[in-house]
Structure 1
């Protein structure tokens, strides 16, 4: 799907998690709702994805690193952002205001720019029990970030892909647009 300036632009931020290879489900759901979609990954998530397939599906380059000043912007500014899947690491860094990769830079900027953002966590129960995670979710709520539901899986077990609700990110964003 090529860029359509009359369609709102959804930036999907993908983190390194077991369900990341299924991000095409979210892309398809967004496109069916008439969104133009682009994908940015954390550096580690890049290894979980098929860049050519995502680029063919979205019509935009898959990004995981900052562009140089002489390079043109590969997409227009986002009208909304969906972070899916969102890992323990990214959620905590984002809430702390850390911007050590492109994905986090986009998320930190989005708050100051007032871009509606939904986050769909994917983590294990040991990580979810950590006080930093709870504090980070509270900080994100204070920032008016929309937080989806996910029942954490057992540590070292992975799983939960069948329960991961990709489309919930779109449902959450619909309340803000």
Structure 2
């Protein structure tokens, strides 16, 4: 039996720099992992992209493929979007799909793919009125939002500590897909 496929998607926030460790943890949990990034996160990880592709056995993606090009990834059984920045969260909730990663998760809502999203935002972003509307929209669409107790708790601007980002909560949020009887 093949392993279920997890799309691990990350935005440009400091916890994305732990991508290799999180991929290894997800693989140890039983996932076949594909790594997708926002364009800025891909730039942050430029020096690691080849190693990350070797770790997953698949190319790291951050841009739409050209018409006629084959999809090089298997279909997702689950998607984790973490860290999710203010920009990614709002674009997703509003359906603005100019970035490949947002296009995949926006379509994933309609496909019924199990998804979890964990923000990485500071309290100044949280104070913006669109943030809560976007969180509510994504929750209403069936996305498991890991925000607050049991997920990500915002910090003061400039006071975040990437080492405390609760990656385990993000992986656990889609762990029910690892049960072969739950894969559709």
TM-score (norm 2): 0.89
Measure how far apart 1:141 and its partner are: 0.7
Mapped pair 1:53 → 2:74: no
Residues 146-167 of structure 1 deviation map (CA, whole Å, 9 limit, x = unaligned): 1112121221x15221220112
Q: Give secondary structure in 2 for the equivalent of 1:168.
A: helix
Residue segments in structure 2 that go unaligned for 5+ positions in a row: none
Q: Give secondary structure in 1 for the equivalent of 2:87.
A: helix
CA–CA separation in structure 1 for the residues paired with 2:75 and 2:15 = 26
- Residue number in structure 2 paired with 1:40: 36
| Aligned 8 A contact 1:42 1:64 in 2 | yes
- The root-mean-square deviation of aligned C-alpha atoms, in Å, is 1.4
Moved over 6 A (4+): none
For residue 153 of structure 2, the aligned residue among 126, 133, 151 is 151
Q: Give secondary structure in 1 for the equivalent of 2:8.
A: strand
- Residue number in structure 1 paired with 2:132: 134
CA–CA separation in structure 2 for the residues paired with 1:162 and 1:73 = 34
CA–CA separation in structure 1 for the residues paired with 2:32 and 2:40 = 25
The structure where helix makes up a greater share of residues is 2
- Residue number in structure 2 paired with 1:12: 8
Between 1:7-16 and 1:165-174, the stretch displaced more is 165-174
Residues 125-176 of structure 1 deviation map (CA, whole Å, 9 limit, x = unaligned): 1001111101110111101101112121221x15221220112112111246
| Aligned 8 A contact 2:81 2:116 in 1 | yes
| Aligned 8 A contact 1:150 1:163 in 2 | no
CA–CA separation in structure 1 for the residues paired with 2:119 and 2:161 = 11
CA–CA separation in structure 2 for the residues paired with 1:79 and 1:145 = 14
Between 1:157-166 and 1:135-144, the stretch displaced more is 157-166
Size of the aligned set, in residue pairs, is 172
TM-score (norm 1): 0.92
Measure how far apart 1:51 and its partner are: 0.5
